[in-house]
Structure 1
Amino acid sequence: MANSPQARKRIRRNDRRAEINGARVSRIRTQIKKVEEAIEAGKQDDAVQALRAAQPEIARGVAKGVMHKNTAARKMSRLSKRVAALG
């Protein structure tokens, strides 16, 4: 149990950051799913638009530290490759 004021504050801050980071990761996953759904449906126009929306979200996740840069690069590369294959 936290006894010092600093430790109590750190617990509050950690809880708040975990909530924010969880929301950010969830938003990234949702964007990726939209791209994948468009790919599965075979709709190239929708897939391209969804990919354009997903890329900044993924990049923002890297900048904010919720995703490793290599993981983000791999996901964007694989999604781009699948979208290009539709054409």
Structure 2
Amino acid sequence: MANTSSAKKATRKIARRTAVNKSRRTQMRGSVRIVEEAIASGDRDAALKAMARAEPELMRAAQRNIIHRNAASRKVSRLTHSIAKLAK
């Protein structure tokens, strides 16, 4: 348990940030899931549209330290590669 007033305030701030970050992470994962489902179904157009929405979500999450920037770049790269394979 926090003893000082500053530690108590820090605990409150952490709780607020955690709630916000959970929401952002959930939203990001949802947009990635839509892309992955479109890829799995073989629908290239739907995958491209979903990717146009998912990429900014991933990069925004990386900017806000919800996920590591390299992890975001890796995810975008792998999804893009998977979509490119659908064209063949």
TM-score (norm 1): 0.96
Partners in 1 of 2:3 and 2:27 — Cα distance? Answer: 35
Amino acid at match of 1:71: A
Query: Per-residue displacement from partner, 1:28-52 (whole Å, max 9, x unpaired)?
Result: 1101100000011111100000000
TM superposition shift of 1:3: 1.9
Distance 1:21 1:44 in 2: 31
Deviation, 1:27, is 0.8
For 1:8-47, what aligned pairs fall within 5 Å after superposition? 8-47=8-47
Unaligned runs of 5+ residues in structure 1 are none
> Which residue identity lines up with residue 36 of structure 2 in the other structure?
E
Structure 2 equivalent of residue 79 of structure 1:
79
Amino acid at match of 2:60: R
CA-based RMSD of the aligned residues comes to 0.7
Superposition deviation, residue 81 in structure 1 = 0.3
Aligned equivalents of 1:13 and 1:59: distance in 2?
24
